[in-house]
């Protein structure tokens, strides 16, 4: 039987809220790309060509084809990076030779920023590993919140279990002293933990928010099956197809980013997984935005602290936290920092 368990430790790198329309103007490309064997000192997100025409938005904030910043980031923010580009430029031919097709992912985008090879990166909360790398480099970085996000545990939607606590998560993934769903409010059935490779952004959040220095069980590590964010959702959903016929109540558990889970259907089709409440709090756009959900985090625009005040990277960041920019943060599939309209009293 194929057992979907394990983590690989090798050093990399998550919908529109109810408060704003769900019409999607971009086509997110959410697949993660293969790992880079070395840092090439060149971002996957190249600068734009002067052949592209600027929009009224770009003209208003002072963006030109010549000063457009080099932007990179995590896989989960690629749709936003692409949205920024579309909001700044148009092409009469409909062709954009320098359109950002892929992201370098979290860790490499930080390395490129530290090296000065990109001007701006869009990423979730930094991991301990990232903070250590930044400190060792001696480069000071500036973090500006641009979006809301949360780390969530997921399982198959048919699983009766509804919630998990931090202690329970540690006992599942580290000490393996919890191995049955009945121990956390489910039915009698084996828990099959799935985890990400160590350089994944969601794995960094797992280590920061849940494990807090505790190692993942070697038993899980040894049964490694590398996966990206799509793969995590697929394995949690499809585990039952591989489970022994005598394990009717065996369900997998995994983790991902809340907004990535919400836009997964636009990328993968229907996905039969659900997020678990954490410490009794359901993850919703509201509980994430107001930080009531314990695992709520932010997305940040990160630049070098010595970036000049009139630099285009700062102009883009200022636009992202404006009303118009927050609208496009939401449209790209991430959470907004505050409601974009005040509901009527009878709503």
Instruction: Show the tokens assigned to 323.
Output: 């009303």
Q: Are strands 191-193 and 296-304 parallel, antiparallel or unpaired?
A: unpaired
- How far is residue 132's CA from residue 183's CA, in Å, rounded to a whole number? 37
3-state helix/strand/coil string of 29-97: CCCCCCCCCCCCCCCCCCCCCCCCEECHHHHHHCCCCCCCCCEEECHHHHHHHHHHHHHHEECCCCCCC
pLDDT at site 197: 67
- How far is residue 65's CA from residue 67's CA, in Å, rounded to a whole number? 6
- How far is residue 283's CA from residue 285's CA, in Å, rounded to a whole number? 7
Q: Is 167 exposed, middle or buried (0-12, 13-18, 19+ CB in 10 A)?
A: exposed
pLDDT at site 82: 95
- How far is residue 265's CA from residue 258's CA, in Å, rounded to a whole number? 13
3-state helix/strand/coil string of 263-332: HHHHHHCCCCEEECEECCECCCHHHHHCCCCCCEEEEEEEEECCCCCCCHHHHHHHHHCCHHHHHHHHHC
Tens digit of each residue's pLDDT, the chain (347 residues): 444 444 544 444 433 333 333 333 333 333 333 333 333 344 555 455 546 799 999 999 999 999 999 999 988 899 999 999 999 999 888 788 789 999 998 889 999 999 999 999 999 888 888 889 999 999 999 999 999 999 999 999 999 999 999 999 999 999 999 999 999 999 999 999 988 766 676 777 898 899 988 988 888 765 555 556 777 888 888 887 666 666 778 999 999 889 888 777 666 667 899 999 999 999 999 999 999 999 999 999 999 999 999 999 999 999 999 999 999 999 998 999 988 765 555 54
pTM of the model: 0.77
- The phi and psi torsions of 243 (rounded to 5 degrees) equal -70, 150
> Which residue in the block uniquely carries the two structure tokens 């940040």?
300
pLDDT at site 207: 86
Check: CB of residue 329 under 8 Å from CB of residue 144: no
In the chain, what are the domains?
A: 53-147+298-331 (3.40.190.10), 149-289 (3.40.190.10)
pLDDT at site 26: 39
Which candidate, 74, 28, 84, places its Cα nearest to that of 266? 28
Give the three-state DSSP class for 11.
coil
- How far is residue 139's CA from residue 134's CA, in Å, rounded to a whole number? 6
| CA-CA-CA-CA dihedral for 109, 198, 192, 32, to nearest 10 | 30
pLDDT at site 270: 79
Strand partners, 123: 300
| Distances, alpha carbon 174 to alpha carbons 102, 127, 151, 294, in Å | 33, 19, 18, 20
């Amino acid at each position: 039987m194929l057992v979907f368990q394990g983590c690989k430790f090798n050093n990399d790198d998550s919908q529109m809220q109810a408060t704003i329309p769900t019409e999607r103007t971009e086509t997110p490309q959410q697949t993660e790309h293969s790992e880079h064997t070395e840092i090439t000192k060149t971002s996957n997100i190249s600068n734009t060509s002067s052949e592209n025409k600027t929009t009224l938005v770009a003209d208003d904030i002072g963006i030109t084809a010549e000063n457009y910043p080099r932007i990179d980031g995590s896989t989960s923010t690629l749709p936003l990076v692409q949205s920024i580009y579309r909001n700044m430029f148009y092409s009469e031919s409909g062709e954009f030779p320098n359109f950002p097709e892929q992201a370098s992912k979290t860790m490499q985008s930080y390395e490129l920023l530290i090296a000065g090879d990109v001007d701006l990166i869009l990423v979730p909360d930094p991991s301990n590993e990232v903070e250590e790398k930044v400190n060792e480099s001696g480069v000071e970085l500036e973090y500006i919140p641009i979006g809301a996000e949360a780390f969530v545990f997921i399982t198959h939607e048919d699983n009766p279990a509804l919630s998990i606590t931090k202690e329970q998560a540690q006992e599942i993934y580290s000490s393996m002293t919890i191995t049955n769903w009945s121990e956390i409010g489910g039915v009698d059935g084996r828990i099959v933990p799935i985890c990400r490779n160590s350089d994944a952004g969601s794995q960094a959040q797992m280590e920061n928010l849940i494990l807090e220095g505790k190692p993942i069980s070697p038993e899980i590590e040894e049964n490694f099956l590398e996966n990206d964010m799509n793969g995590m959702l697929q394995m949690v959903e499809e585990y039952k197809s591989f489970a022994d016929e005598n394990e009717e109540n065996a369900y997998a558990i995994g983790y991902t980013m809340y907004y990535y889970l919400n836009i997964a259907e636009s990328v993968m089709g229907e996905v039969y997984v659900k997020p678990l409440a954490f410490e009794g709090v359901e993850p919703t756009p509201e509980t994430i935005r107001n930080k009531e959900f314990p695992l709520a985090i932010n997305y940040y625009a990160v630049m070098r602290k010595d970036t000049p005040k009139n630099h285009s990277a700062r102009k883009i960041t200022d636009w992202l936290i404006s009303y118009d920019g927050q609208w496009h943060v939401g449209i790209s599939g991430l959470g907004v920092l505050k409601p974009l309209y005040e509901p009527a009293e009878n709503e």
